[in-house]
Homo-oligomer: A and B are copies of this chain.
Amino acid sequence: MSKTHRIPERSGAAFRLDKGETLTVIDPKGKQVADLLAFNAKDIDEVISSGRTLDYAETIALTTGHKLYSNRSNVLLEIVGDTVGRHDFLLTPCSVDTFRHFYPDQPEHRGCFGNLAEALAPYGVTPDRIPVAFNCFMNVPIDGETGKLRVLPPISKANDRIVFRAAMDLVIGLTACSALDSNGGSFKPIDYRID
Contact = CB atoms under 8 A, between A and B. Distances in A.
Interface of A: 45-47, 49-52, 54-56, 58-61, 71-73, 90-92, 95, 97-98, 101, 126, 128, 130-133, 141-150
Contacts of A148: 58-59, 61
Given A51-B90, A51-B92, A56 B132 contact: no
25 contacts: A45-B126, A45-B128, A50-B51, A50-B132, A51-B91, A51-B131, A51-B133, A52-B92, A54-B90, A55-B92, A58-B150, A59-B146, A59-B149, A60-B142, A60-B147, A61-B146, A61-B148, A71-B128, A72-B128, A73-B95, A73-B97, A131-B131, A141-B144, A142-B142, A142-B147
A149 B51 contact: no
B58 A149 contact: yes
- Tallying the copies of this chain within the complex gives 2
Given A50-B51, A51-B90, A145 B144 contact: yes
Which 4 pairs show the lowest CB-CB distances between chains A and B?
A61-B147, A51-B92, A144-B144, A73-B97
Contacts of A143: 144
